[in-house]
Structure 1
Amino acid sequence: MGVVGRVRTTVWAAALGTVLAGVPVAAYAEESAPQPPAYRAADGARKVEGKPSTADAPLIEAGNTYEDTIGPGERVYRLVLQQDGSNAYVSAVLRPPAGAKVSGSDGVEVELMTTAGRSCRASTGRATFGYDAVPLAAAGVRWGAEDDECAPAGVYYAKVTRTSAKSSDQSPWPLELKVQREPGRGPGAPTTAPSGWPTGAPSLPGTEAVGRAGGTGFNDARALGAGVWRDEMRPGQTRWYRVPLDWGQRLGLGAELSAAKRTKDFTSASGGLSVTLYTPFRSPVSGKGVSYDGVQAGVTLEKTPPVDYGNRFSGDRETQPVSVAGWYYVAVTMGAKVADFTEDAVPVPLTLRVEVTGTPAKGPAYKEDPAAGGFGVGAEDRAAAREGLTAPEAAEAAGTRSLMRVVAGAGFGAGTLLLAVLGGWVLLGRRGRGTTAA
């Protein structure tokens, strides 16, 4: 395919993605009931092989995403960090196959530690499964300014542990690692947790729903803004979305499953509908699950605190993670057991109600731009939320816009040159005609 063909394909793909993001999902739903689509790995993810001990642990670096596999037990990775007050976040996404057997004690843990084997203060993040084997994430952190023992430059280790009961699936599962760097704070940044913010249920919108098809994981989560959004699900499926939250903003969220085509009456599934909210560094904020009887179910998460740098100093586990601006991720799961009393070939309508409140505030003083680490909300993020773009679609759309600017600039330059040449020809012609007349 030539350059022109590739450009046309790129533009068409971006346009098609934008169109499909805004139409009712039922308009292009499949009639069959295939297995839920596999988790989409990050573009450009690097292969890595963690070790069971610190000896020969492979190097992982900020700004990169890595692919590995992990069975029950530990995998260790090496980081080289600077003494610049920056924070290093290492997240691990555990991706069990659909239908894998798990228990409520199974899960993933990420711990950052020194070469002496000391765990960095408040560094360990963990998450456990509910009723279903779905993608699960946790994140560990090295605090570069608050933890004196882990502030010096040098080698550190990230230990990822997969916990698994003996009766659970013991096979190796794919593991996605992401390393993000938050720059050190400048003068005037908060050093204590804020207080006095109100808690409670959100005031969720009741406008007409707009179709937005969720993704398979963090890497292709569908962008949402404030409003009401419609999708559809089948038993055992998890749909992923992302919402940009700027400094000072709060998120309220509700999810509803409508009626399914039931094959049995008076039956329900525990954990038939569950919702989990994650931070921009893939750490769980909050989550909730309810039973579903094939008729109706709803989950409402309590409003988050306003995004504030000082929240990281809070002792409340649902406040502490809401400490950076950026994309917050929402995972919605329909329990696999729902298939026991419904026709899972018939998708069930899912309604998401999203409330974003608070005027975007000025961010804290950083020594560098935090956007390189995936933190902050910019104009392109807001545009992606309005248009309902996944990260790959947004990147392609940005590339298309950049290409069009280059083409337009080249066209303008070529036109200017052509006019100059034509002008020269006219001038020479006039001079020639004048000489002949003389």
Structure 2
Amino acid sequence: MRERARRTAWWRGYGRRTVPGAPRTALRPGPRALRTALMPGLCALLVLPCGTAAAHGNATATEKGSPRSYAFTPGARTVAGATGTATAPRLDAGRTYRSSLSRNGKLYYRLELGATDTAYVPVTAVPPAHSTVSATDGITVSVQDATGTPCSFANARFGAGLSPRPVTALGQRETGKAVCQGRGTYYVVVRRLDAQGPGTTAPAQPWDLEIAPVTEPRTARAGSTSAPQAWDSATPEPLAGEPRDRSGGTGFASASPLGQGVWRTSLVPGETRFYKVPLDWGRQLHASAELGSATGHGYVGGALNLSLYNPVRGYVEDAALGYTGTQKPAVLAPLPPVEYANRYAVPTGVTSVRFAGDYYLVLHLSEQTADSFGPGPFTVTLRVRVAGRAHTGPQYAGRPVPGEVFTVSGQDRETVLTGNTGDGADPVMRLVAISGIGLGTALLLILAGWTVTARRTRRAQTRVNAQKPTA
């Protein structure tokens, strides 16, 4: 009996505290507090995206009409961009970085690249919520070699919605091109675009940046350098059926997985949601987003924006719709199946669909929508169709960095076919399921402790109530 008492003493000690003047059975903290205290540590121990858990915790704020802020990759390293190449900080593939870009700013970062790797450097600019932006505001990203020769140039702008939102532009150094070849030092140049027209006041606040470099090795065998000529470019009938709720993440790192199906979420004006659809080699994505009807009068240009990005966060395609309060869909233009040879095409919508992996669907509801149709939330229905036959991809001569960026797992394939992402599971039970035997046992003990504590709470309260004098 004494041994049993010693074994349960830890739970008794945690579940109770002595309060002067109060019964000894007063319980603090309870199971919910214990769960809140332990969840971040368990996520970190299991190397899970705790930012996702935090995003779910902010759902209440969203329901009250306040958009959630962008969720940066957990563990992202903060770096200060330089105003020239001499002091440019180094960026390594496979790591994610945070930085900041001031008004009319221009910053330099450094890359050290091998001779045979293609490098991709996506830069996401995140302006403060409710800041004033114009349609032409945004960022440009370029990669230059040590002589200043540009390897690539890309830009991203806020567009007709006139609404501050995360926008992403991709810089790249591709092997096999006429310029920017060989091992050595390269520079990433990020410039902020601010409107300079008469009577226009550009926002003075700095914009946060997220930078996530990736490298892709060459293939083991030289293949065709011609883009596929024939593919099904017809727009299929939109999927029908009862939509399933899926709230979406608030950044690339916390994007919610989606398979084929009809999905539903709610957005407040100014809010952005991220989803990811795993696409294998040979698979073809069709997607649309429908903004539901609302009361009110007026017209909002670019009210809903649906954007698609590839596994290295490179822009693929987008669609925006003007809104008068009547339900209306934004439909992505038909895209080819995922093939390595697409990179040899000219149109962005083809050349960007060049590798397998997670493709990101990003929804944004313009802040301007609130002026004519109220604070919301507004219902958005997302329809995702995945066609085509999956096949094996090219054999690389090395490993991409990060290693799984162009990989579709067996679970990913099941997600695409069934639409079952497992997101309905309780977070703690999901931790237990993936933790392994040793850590799983520890988690089960913690769950058991919560149960024991809850039961003792009820029994203690019953005894206290029974001892109270009746009137």
Q: Tell me the TM-score normalised to structure 2 length.
A: 0.76
The answer to whether structure 1 residue 73 and structure 2 residue 105 are counterparts is: yes
Tell me, yes or no, if the aligned pair for 2:110 and 2:186 is still in contact at 8 Å: yes
- Following TM superposition, the consecutive aligned residue runs of length 4 or more in structure 1 with deviations greater than 4 angstroms are 5-14, 27-31, 383-387, 393-402, 407-410
CA distance 1:175–1:28, change in 2 (3 Å): closer
Does 2:162 correspond to 1:134? Answer: no
CA distance in 2 between partners of 1:312 and 1:394 (Å):
41
Task: Tell me how far apart the structure 2 counterparts of residues 38 and 401 of structure 1 sit (CA, whole Å).
Answer: 30
Letter in structure 2 aligned against 1:337: Q
Cα 1:190/1:406, change in 2 over 3 Å? farther
Q: In the aligned structure 2, how far is the partner of 1:314 from the partner of 1:394?
A: 45
Question: 2:436 — aligned with what?
Answer: 404
Q: Which residue of 2 aligns with 1:98?
A: 129
Q: 1:354 aligns with which of 379, 384, 388?
A: 384
Provide the rounded CA distance (Å) in 2 between the counterparts of 1:314 and 1:233. 36
Letter in 1 for 2:398: E
In the alignment, the residues of structure 2 paired with residue 214 and residue 174 of structure 1 have an alpha-carbon distance, to the nearest angstrom, of 21
Amino acid at match of 2:362: A
Among 248, 264, 267, which residue is 1:233 paired with?
267
Per the alignment, residue 341 of structure 2 pairs with 310
Per the alignment, do residues 396 and 185 of structure 1 end up closer, same or farther by CA in structure 2, a change over 3 Å counting? farther
Give the structure 1 partner of residue 403 of structure 2. 372
Percent identity between the aligned chains? 35
Deviation at 1:268, TM superposition (A): 1.8
Aligned to 1:285, which of 316, 326, 333? 316
Q: Distance in 1 between matches of 2:382 and 2:182?
A: 45
Q: Unaligned 5+ residue runs, structure 2?
A: 1-9, 12-33, 54-58, 443-471
Say which is worse superposed, 362-371 or 65-74, in terms of deviation. 362-371
Q: Mapping of 1:36-75 within 5 angstroms?
A: 36-71=67-102, 72-75=104-107
Name the CA shift for 1:8/1:134 in 2 (closer, same or farther; >3 Å).
closer
Question: How far is 1:125 from its partner?
Answer: 2.1
Q: Distance in 1 between matches of 2:41 and 2:89?
A: 39
Give the counterpart of 2:217 among 178, 183, 198. Answer: 183
The one-letter amino acid of 1:124's match is: F
Aligned position for 2:64: 32
Q: Deviations over 1:93-117 (max 9, x none)?
A: 0001122212222111211111100
RMSD: 3.2
Equivalent of residue 153 in structure 1, options 183, 187, 190? 183
Output the CA distance in 2 between the equivalents of 1:408 and 1:133: 43
Report if aligned partners of 1:82, 1:153 keep a CA contact under 8 Å in 2: yes
Say whether 1:174 aligns with 2:171. no
Partner of 1:425: none
CA distance in 2, matches of 1:171, 1:9: 34
Q: How many angstroms does 1:250 deviate by?
A: 0.7
Among candidates 288, 304, 307, match of residue 276 of structure 1: 307
Deviation, 1:315, is 1.1
SS at match of 1:216: coil
* 2:183 matches 1:125: no
Distance 1:33 1:407, change over 3 A: closer
Q: Are the counterparts in 2 of residues 307 and 324 from structure 1 also a CA contact under 8 Å?
A: yes
Q: Retained in 2: the 8 A contact 1:203–1:252? A: no
Residue 255 in structure 1 maps to residue 285 in structure 2: no
Cα shift at 1:171:
2.2
Amino acid at match of 1:126: N
Asked if structure 2 preserves the Cα contact closer than 8 Å seen for 1:202 and 1:253, the reply is no
Residues 402-428 of structure 1: per-residue CA shift (max 9 Å, x gap): 532445799xxxxxxxxxxxxxxxxxx
Distance 2:426 2:224 in 1: 33
Q: 2:237 aligns to what?
A: 203
Which one-letter code corresponds to 1:77 in the other structure? Y
The aligned amino acid for 1:348 is F
For residue 356 of structure 2, what is the amino acid of its counterpart?
A: A
CA distance in 2, matches of 1:340, 1:347: 13
Deviations 1:14-70 (A, max 9, x none): 9xx9xx99xxxxx97865222x11000101100111111101100000000000000
Paired positions, count = 390
Determine helix, strand or coil for the equivalent of 1:55.
Answer: helix
Structure 1 Cα separation of the partners of residues 432 and 87 of structure 2:
42
Equivalent AA in structure 2 for residue 220 of structure 1: S
| Structure 2 counterpart of 1:431 | none
